[in-house]
């Protein structure tokens, strides 16, 4: 059986403002349900089963949103912050009203692929350490890259504070560029792993999560919705 929801919650979720705003909006006669003007914003309806229109425009209700963002530098991975610009601030207000949040986090100075959603179950599948989801990064480093770096990463590094990392993969692309794949997401993990072998990370960029690769045509700071097929790619091992 489909779940009934308050009309103001549906409209807020769909980007039409706060419940207070929507209450006034309905009283002005701007909303119809199955062709009838609805002035009661608390009306319970099944969003998928009725025709809801706002100022004559059909409302297409989506319970969950799945977004891919090309995260720029100097933006934090959070829903809101009093001082810093957040990744949710880069999206239209619709998504903030719908409760979209970043799936995991990238450091403020790290760029690349970041997923956002309001589907907690989907996000947990990606973030859970038990799932061993591969996360692939490109790291520009300073320092002498050790000859045995691949062996060190594959064995599971022990960080300076005693933290034991799961085995990881690293490939040397250029004299100072590494491709690194990890299967967990500990605090500043790649920077700390590199520090453990005498390297300093100058720039870090996430390229992929599982089989989902950052869209090269997507400019820094831009976003788009994931297709239904792409939603499953983070769980594909590559």
Within this chain, do residues 96 and 113 fall inside the same structural domain, yes or no?
A: yes
What is the structure's pLDDT at 238?
60
User: Does the annotation count 107 as an active-site position?
Assistant: yes
Contact 185, 222 (CB under 8 A): no
Within this chain, do residues 31 and 17 fall inside the same structural domain, yes or no?
A: yes
Domain count, the chain: 3
Q: How many CB atoms lie within 10 A of CB 186?
A: 15
Residues 6+ apart with CB under 8 A from 97: 12, 13, 14, 15, 16, 17, 18
Within this chain, do residues 219 and 117 fall inside the same structural domain, yes or no?
A: yes
CATH number of the domain within which 198 lies: 3.30.70.1560
Q: Which pLDDT tens digits describe the chain residue by residue (238 residues)? A: 568 999 999 998 888 888 898 999 899 999 999 999 999 999 999 998 999 999 999 998 899 999 999 999 999 999 999 899 999 999 998 899 899 999 999 999 999 999 999 999 999 999 987 888 999 999 999 999 999 999 999 999 999 888 999 999 999 998 899 999 999 888 899 999 999 999 999 999 999 999 999 988 999 999 999 999 999 999 987 6
Within this chain, do residues 229 and 194 fall inside the same structural domain, yes or no?
A: no
Q: Angle at the Cα of 84 (from 223 to 206), degrees rounded to 5? A: 45
Within this chain, do residues 189 and 98 fall inside the same structural domain, yes or no?
A: no
Strands (E), the chain: 5-6, 31-33, 36-37, 44-45, 52-54, 57-58, 66-71, 101-102, 111-117, 135-142, 169-174, 177-182, 200-209, 212-213, 223-225
The residue annotated as part of the active site, out of 21, 107, 119, 179, is 107
Within this chain, do residues 216 and 203 fall inside the same structural domain, yes or no?
A: no
The pTM of the full predicted model, rounded to 2 decimals, is: 0.88
Domain range for residue 100? 66-129+212-235
d(CA 193, CA 148): 14
Within this chain, do residues 103 and 220 fall inside the same structural domain, yes or no?
A: yes
d(CA 92, CA 101): 13
């Amino acid at each position: 059986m489909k779940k009934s929801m308050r009309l103001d919650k549906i409209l807020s979720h769909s980007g039409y403002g706060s419940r207070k705003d929507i209450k006034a909006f309905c009283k002005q006669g701007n909303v119809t349900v199955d062709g009838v003007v609805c002035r009661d914003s608390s009306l319970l309806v099944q969003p998928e089963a009725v025709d809801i229109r706002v100022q004559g425009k059909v409302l297409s209700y989506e319970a969950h949103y799945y977004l891919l963002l090309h995260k720029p530098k100097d933006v934090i991975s959070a829903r809101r912050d009093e001082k810093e610009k957040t990744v949710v601030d880069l999206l239209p207000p619709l998504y903030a009203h719908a409760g979209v949040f970043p799936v995991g986090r990238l450091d403020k100075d790290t760029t690349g692929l970041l997923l956002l959603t309001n589907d907690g179950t989907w996000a947990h599948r990606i973030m859970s350490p038990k799932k061993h989801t591969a996360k692939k990064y490109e790291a520009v480093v300073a320092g002498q890259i050790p000859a045995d770096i691949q062996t060190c990463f594959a064995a599971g590094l022990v960080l300076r504070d005693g933290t034991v990392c799961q085995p990881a993969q690293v490939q040397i692309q250029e004299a100072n560029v590494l491709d690194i794949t990890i299967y967990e997401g500990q605090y500043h993990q790649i920077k700390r792993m590199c520090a453990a072998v005498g390297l300093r990370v100058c720039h870090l960029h996430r390229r992929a999560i599982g089989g989902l690769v950052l869209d090269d045509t997507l400019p820094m700071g831009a976003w788009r919705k994931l297709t239904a097929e792409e939603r499953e790619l983070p769980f594909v091992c590559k």
